Amino acid sequence: MLDYHLHLWPHGQRDTAPTLEQVAAYCDGARAAGISEVALTEHLFRFRQADRLLGGFWDDEPDAALRASMQNYWGDHARADLDAYVECVLAAKEAGLPVVLGLEVDYYRGRMSDVVELLAGYPFDVLLGSVHWIGAWRFDDVDDPLSMAQWSTRDVDEAWSDYVGAIEELAATSACDVLAHPDLVKAAGHHPLAPEECWDRLVEAAVGSGMAAELSSAGWRKPVNEAYPAPGLLERFVARGVPLTTASDAHRLSDVAHRTADLARMLDALQVRSLRAFRARSGSDVALAATVPGS
Ligand SMILES: [Zn+2]
Ligand SMILES: [Zn+2]
């Protein structure tokens, strides 16, 4: 198994400089759970370089409260130095730790060519593509009352469709390699009347772009209490031959490799025999049998 989605800092905690010891501890935790390789994938928006490029992306949001909230959230997060992060992960690779250099990249409508240009200056192995926001609405921020109150004033089907539309646009940019937590919009526990239509669009976005899709245990730590993607969506990804990664989306050491065995069981039930690993943005299949815990 892989853990191809890891963060160094919890949301709400101001960043501290990343250290080799921290990365080594993540690798040790992962290895103990039967993980053969991890990807460090900090959010792009935790770095000052993103602030310079993308700060104010929320200005188009018509809702003043959401606009102000995103401005605060962004200000709390965009503080670390991307160069120091990259250097730390490269040093871990040099030291022989089973880690690759990644980043979790949000979709910024109309700004993705700037993002691509910034990221091209770094030797990333893998880029996760994510949608966490519709306009300036943080629909998955389950600890934020303002964000969660939106779910009672908005149409759930429309929210899902907006989310899927953003994923389609992100996939079409070819900026990223892996569709992270593909049905994240369900995080707070709201489901559309006909999820299959959204699932089919998500699968087409992956197929059309050549992106892999991530199977993540993080949904089990959210109100929805279900892996991303839902079993029906995972089945569709597999049926269409979309390559998969596995991930915990940990923001702290104790969540590294969370419920890896449960993810392995989901894959086994669908006879998935390989996962997609990445080097220098190029994917290759690794046999799953060799990475299953206990084998
Ligand atoms: Zn995410
Ligand atoms: Zn993440």
13 pLDDT band, cuts 50/70/90, is confident
The CA 85 to ligand 1 mean position distance, Å, reads 18
- pTM of the predicted protein model: 0.96
Mean pLDDT of the chain: 95
- Annotate 15-65 with DSSP letters as a single string: P----HHHHHHHHHHHHHTT-SEEEEEEEGGGBHHHHHHHTTGGGG-S-HH
Mean pLDDT on 47-73: 96
User: Which ligand is nearest the CA of 187, by number?
Assistant: 1
Q: Are 5 and 216 in contact (CB under 8 A)?
A: yes
Amino acid at 232: G
CA 130 / ligand 1 centre spacing (Å)? 6
Give the tens place of pLDDT for each residue, 132-186.
999 999 999 999 999 999 999 999 999 999 999 999 999 999 999 999 999 999 9
Strands 274-279 and 282-287: antiparallel
Taking residues 123-131, report their average pLDDT: 98
* Ligand located closest to 131 CA: 1
d(CA 108, ligand 1 centre) in Å: 14
Question: Quick check: 205 and 233 in contact, CB under 8 A?
Answer: no
pLDDT at 147: 98
Nearest ligand, measured from the Cα of 180: 1
Distance from the alpha carbon of residue 204 to the mean position of ligand 1, in angstroms = 20
- Report the separation in Å between the CA atom of 30 and the middle of ligand 2, taken as the mean of its atom positions: 16
For ligand 2, a single-atom ion, the residues with CB < 5 A are 104, 249
